[in-house]
Structure 1
């Protein structure tokens, strides 16, 4: 893998996108869906979409370097590439494609979560993209770790529920499944979409909301989703025990690769 150029816009400015993909039992999870989302993000950033065959090739190379683990977190990066100094984009983009793979251990158990002080900027287009710039999420996760928790609940600029530092958030009230809308500053996660489809297929009422206040989580079952952990129940939030609901395990059995 060639070194990153000092003037690479992904390195210098966070100008680019990435996807985190679960490699499980020698197969990439939701491969086409990840690449579809990457292509949509490219349109927003004015970048050409990467060639799909090239994406698979660079992932295969990364897996070889990692000794082809049974389960791995694969990260596919698409940087805007070299450019002039400053913010202005180059006359012609020459994006750089790269990938890495890291062995994953057993599936994590229930999560502990705290509400972060760091906010999600719902007014930024970047809040709905998986960009190379994740500093707010990094800071929020750092807050959680300092408090002895696994994950951070992030509110948006209006103080409403947005997401976790590295996951989408769901909660259940009177049998209805709730999750924040993209307009709340939410990345439309791959597993988020899987859960919504599974819930609707099984007759569960779903509400996608823009302005949920954090108080709604005080007595509600809560769970998280991302591509690496699937559905992950939250056991404690801000020091309080989170109630268990059978719907969480039911959805996990429907969408988690290890439980199918």
Structure 2
């Protein structure tokens, strides 16, 4: 038996879960998703993810799934899978529709939650390079975790082909926005900063927690200023990863600061 999933109100074996061929998420990337950390059998920051999901649904004019229903669905799926540590992927599409771009007047969203186990491990430092795709921080869509991930996919593929681990994406402003699947933190003049939303950064949940906790502030980072930073990390809901070099510019590692950030982010 394969791992259970939650699909449209039901717990199903993954082999019995089917998405319609005319689902707009499959055909048009018309939807969004959340990646949610699971620790000790709980999703400690689920409320933040559901709040961002609601904001994204509002931007996309997509009916927002009932958060009470989703909270129960997460609980049911964690119980059914016995997942202790890992992640959940919550995907919401506009559901099925006729051919073409115009959605149905009253969409019936498809909602899928999948569970994945993963070991608790500190990622090895990574090497980055500047990518050629840009994020438009002036667009409302830059605030949405859209299913349309091709710029990130291509950025990661091209970085790996160049012998790197990941790429940094610039915003339309010309400043650094984020990596392909993570926000960026950078240490400059002893202060930890992260790019602002208007430079193209996704409003990540871990990014928000670090800002609220006073661990960092917002700050613009232009490509020509990369050699002024003395430390860089990538952060998302699941991990904190130190960066060892960017475009062959070696960066020092900071084990003690790394430890403090990791403790704040992942101790609960």
Shorter-normalised TM-score: what interval?
0.7 to 0.9
Kindly provide the CA deviation profile for residues 112-156 of structure 1, in whole angstroms up to 9, marking residues without a partner as x. Answer: 222212222334322211111111111111112212322211112
Matched, 1:216 2:225: yes
Contact 1:219–1:242 (8 Å) recurs in 2: no
How far 1:28 sits from its partner (Å)?
A: 0.7
Match of 1:80 in 2: 94
Matched, 1:130 2:130: no
How far 1:87 sits from its partner (Å)?
A: 1.0
- For residues 13-52 of structure 1, what are the structure 2 equivalents within 5 Å? 13-52=28-67
TM-score relative to the length of structure 2: 0.85
Matched, 1:244 2:253: yes
Length, aligned pairs only: 250
- For residues 178-197 of structure 1, what are the structure 2 equivalents within 5 Å? 178-197=193-212
Separation in 1, partners of 2:119, 2:128: 21
TM-score relative to the length of structure 1: 0.88
Q: Return the match for 2:236 from 226, 231, 235.
A: 226
Kindly provide the CA deviation profile for residues 28-60 of structure 1, in whole angstroms up to 9, marking residues without a partner as x. Answer: 130111001100111111112112233234445
Contact 1:198–1:255 (8 Å) recurs in 2: no
Structure 1 portions without partners, runs of 5+: 201-205
Match of 1:177 in 2: 192
Match of 1:71 in 2: 85
Separation in 2, partners of 1:147, 1:77: 31
Match of 1:203 in 2: none
SS in 2 for 1:117: strand
Separation in 2, partners of 1:71, 1:38: 22
Separation in 2, partners of 1:215, 1:73: 36
